[in-house]
């Protein structure tokens, strides 16, 4: 089964931050994902909390409730010592932000093939994880095959 990781921007859109059209698209996408094969890096949940406070203008309690709900729906990938050290190498070698590198590294450690993100470089691949913008005009073949299967085995 193809494993997928979610970046904070996908979750923020699903929560209604910024763009109503993106909210529908993000929710539709998330509803098609297998809960057992979808991972949210802990870093992404922290970023979501911050975005919900700043841009979403939610109260701290409402933001906490949203983060907890996402944690209850999908697997959460922890930031381990191994993933942190790998993310420092990734950030250094590819001139990425450390926070994005942590998310990619945790996705790789979690065995994910795709990281769905609108904010990172679409198509960037590292240790078997490919960053894919799910809102791109042309869907990445792996994401397309995942969404076309309607839950069938890959």
Q: What is the pLDDT of residues 28-63, one digit of tens each?
A: 999 999 999 999 999 999 999 999 999 999 999 999
Domain ranges of the chain: 4-148
Structural fold of domain 4-148: Rossmann fold (3.40.50)
Confidence of residue 105 (pLDDT cuts 50, 70, 90): very high
Tokens found for residue 10:
């996908």
pLDDT at 94 over 50: yes
The HSE-up count of residue 30 (CA atoms within 13 Å, CB side) is 22
pLDDT at 149 over 80: no
pLDDT at 151 over 80: no
d(CA 56, CA 63): 9
For residue range 118-140, list pLDDT tens digits in order: 999 999 999 999 999 999 999 99
Residue 148 has a pLDDT of: 80
């Amino acid at each position: 089964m193809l494993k997928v990781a979610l970046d904070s921007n996908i979750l923020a859109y699903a929560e209604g931050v910024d763009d109503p059209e993106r909210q529908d698209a993000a929710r539709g996408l998330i509803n098609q994902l297998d809960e057992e094969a979808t991972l949210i890096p802990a870093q992404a949940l922290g970023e979501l909390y911050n975005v919900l406070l700043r841009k979403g203008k939610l109260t701290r309690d409402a933001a906490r409730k949203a983060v907890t709900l996402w944690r209850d729906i999908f697997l959460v990938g922890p930031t381990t010592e191994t993933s942190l050290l790998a993310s420092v190498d990734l950030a250094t070698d590819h001139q990425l932000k450390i926070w994005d590198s942590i998310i990619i590294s945790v996705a790789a450690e979690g065995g994910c093939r795709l990281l769905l993100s609108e904010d990172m470089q679409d198509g960037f691949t590292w240790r078997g994880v490919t960053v894919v913008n799910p809102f791109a005009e042309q869907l990445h073949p792996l994401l397309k095959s995942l969404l076309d299967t309607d839950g069938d085995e890959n």
